[in-house]
Structure 1
Amino acid sequence: MYWKSAVGSVVVFLLACSFLKSLCNGACMNRESRLSSAGEKPDGCMDGDIKRALNTTWFKAKCITCSCDPAGELSCCSRVLEPILNDRGCTAILNETSCTYIIKRKGDSSEPCESWASM
């Protein structure tokens, strides 16, 4: 009986740590407008060298979605959970079309690999 409760406690602890890690390492990035001076209303957002219109949303490489809100704040978020690989003999390959990771064993893709998901 003690063994089951100890294993359950470890599992709950690991899940809680994974959840807290995702909160600390959030999958979003926000940046205020660089297009306006203090007190001026922004007319868009700068995404690198590209000026984006207010109230627009667009997709970037590596499954990133960005938006420019009415206040001129740029927000970019990942659309995919990043796997945490428990085995160094495994690799995660991002499919940018479906925004999913394929977990494969290096050298033998038929053998399964254990992984966790994190933001």
Structure 2
Amino acid sequence: MKFILATIFAFGILVTICNAGCFTKLNKPSLDGDEPKGCLDKNGVLHEFNTRWKTKNCFDCSCDTEEMSCCKVYGRPANYDQSKCFVKYDKHACTVEVLQKEDPTKLCERYGMAG
């Protein structure tokens, strides 16, 4: 029994960590009962069903009849030497790099990314 509980707990943590950079929004009928015609993003733009798009905030989104789902294109660097390295985000290219403070043209070693 303890093994099963530990497995469920570990799986729950893993799912939380993996999906930390994602969100979903269910498609609901409008107040007058009409079925949705697509997915409405936070800017009020309607996206047709079965489409994909990238936002200016580096989210990769998709729309289907059930929900709109968006995930951050890049993660947050973790487990790097913060005394020797710094993180550089490029929101135009939707990339992230961990660079050496002494020579910003060189990459630092990094061990993982978090959502």
Match of residue 117 from structure 1: 113
Structure 2 residue ranges without an equivalent (≥5): 1-9
Q: What secondary structure sits across from 1:108 in the alignment?
A: coil
Distance change in 2, residues 1:21/1:110 (3 Å): farther
Any unmatched runs of 5+ in structure 1?
1-16
Q: What stretches of structure 1 move > 6 A for 4+ residues in a row? A: none
Partner of 2:89: 94
- Name the CA shift for 1:68/1:52 in 2 (closer, same or farther; >3 Å): same
- Once the two structures are TM-superposed, the CA of residue 107 in structure 1 deviates from its matched residue by 4.5
Taking structure 1 as the reference length, the TM-score comes to 0.62
Note if contact 2:28-2:35 (Cα within 8 Å) is conserved in structure 1: no
* Secondary structure at 2:103 match in 1: coil
Whether 1:51 aligns to 2:49 is no
TM-score by length of 2: 0.63
Q: Is the Cα–Cα contact under 8 Å of residues 35 and 45 in structure 1 kept in the other structure?
A: no
Aligned residues: 100
Whether 1:106 aligns to 2:106 is no
1:71-93 C-alpha deviation (Å, 9 max, x unpaired): 3x111012323311432232222
Alignment CA distance shift 1:23-1:40 (3 Å): same
- The CA distance in 2 between the partners of 1:28 and 1:70, in whole Å, is 18
Greater fraction helix: 1
Q: Percent identity, aligned pairs only? A: 29
Equivalent of 1:33 in 27, 33, 51: 27
